[in-house]
Structure 1
């Protein structure tokens, strides 16, 4: 049975509102001072609610960390299908999925780093919840890779390995943002990453298609985002 964060409040809209306040505050505090050094009282103060009120929406601090991490993987689950649904060509779908994944990481850089740093702090049932959700979203990427292999755009590759190469490359934008954001914009990073990731797996028959996609993505040099 999958672990669920329970609330004694029955108003779904209010639960969503309060949990967003809690998650935003917790992300800031967990990132700056760590999970163990952060208290519920500090989270409540930054969220603008009483510490007693938090326990109406979560059971304990681990639930708060779980919600922070789920916000990222749930964003993958929303954004990736939306990004690929309008594309019919497998290579276009693959590129769209990678771009969407990178943009979700950019929007949740702090929580992405926390996932690497603090997932081990969760109880086993909570870790399993995160892992299962991650596998579900990674299956979207694996699916578009498989489509590209079947279509003949990609040579036969280990789909699992390529899926996680894509995931790790996207995560690196957050994990090493202190460096990348001084030399590249997000669009630049995506363009270079796609070139490195996909050129190694493209079948010769897909070169022309890839050249068309990469040409459309190419942009004039720009100042790095800060």
Structure 2
């Protein structure tokens, strides 16, 4: 899926990247507080530390800001997962470490992920497809780890089962933030991780019987 292009009148790519990073940081703070629709571009510019005129040198519409925020959130989460996940080892230990790392990242980015899903529907359909494509890239990381585990004899799983389990891991990580009003009253993130790993590994091991 091709990446949406946010037009800028400024031609210096490094400066564009710096200004947009400032813009995203300010916008995330405002979206947490007020939501996308109640936040104005003037407020975003002020939070980013420059004028409304400068803001429009780097974007064209308010929707562009939301797209940049959504893209930045997934880039940050995916970068952290890339650093933490060993997709090549294919052992029980690598799978549990991967799940624990993912849940930890979801805990750290829970506010941003909530913003992403609350506000993403305001984006054009092509931009939504691109953002969801990034989600599938992260699911694919878990598919790779599970496939390596199968190849190494850790589990007996079909390709369809691997796909389903990978999506389940991804959703369980998101649930920590989506249902935090309930889950975080019951568990610490470490307790929640242990609980989900027990469910996951007990279910997978049943295939070996």
Q: Using structure 2 for the length normalisation, give the TM-score.
A: 0.85
Cα gap change, 1:33 to 1:204, in 2 (>3 Å): same
Question: Compared with structure 1, are the counterparts of its residues 121 and 52 closer, same or farther at alpha carbon in structure 2 (3 Å cutoff)?
Answer: same
Report the CA distance between 1:205 and its aligned residue: 6.8
> RMSD of the TM alignment (CA)?
2.4
Between stretches 73-82 and 60-69, larger displacement belongs to: 73-82
Unaligned runs of 5+ in 2: none
Contact 1:72/1:104, CA 8 A, preserved across alignment: no
User: Could you list the runs of 4 or more consecutive aligned residues of structure 1 that deviate by over 4 angstroms after TM superposition?
Assistant: 203-206
Partner of 2:199: 196
Match of 1:167 in 2: 170
Deviation, structure 1 residue 143: 0.9
Residue deviations 1:145-189 (CA, integer Å, cap 9, x gap) = 111222232232522221111111100111122333334322222
Q: Give CA-to-partner distance per residue, 1:127-151, whole Å, 9 cap, x none.
A: 1110222212221111111112222
CA contact (8 A) 1:69 1:115 kept: yes
CA distance in 1, matches of 2:125, 2:32: 22
Q: 1:96 to 1:60 in 2, by over 3 A?
A: farther
Distance change >3 Å, CA 14–CA 82, structure 1 → 2 = same
Shift of 1:89: 4.1
Instruction: Determine the structure 2 residue equivalent to 1:186.
Output: 189
For CA contacts below 8 A with separation 6 or more, give which structure has more relative contact order.
Answer: 2
TM-score normalised by the chain length of structure 1: 0.80
Q: Secondary structure at the match of 1:202?
A: helix
**Aligned to 2:157, what secondary structure does the other structure show?**
coil
Alpha-carbon contact 2:77-2:109 (below 8 Å) kept = no
Instruction: Single out whichever of 82-91 and 160-169 deviates more from structure 2.
Output: 82-91
Q: How many positions carry a matched residue from both structures?
A: 206
Correspondence for 1:73? 74
Q: Which residue matches 1:215?
A: none
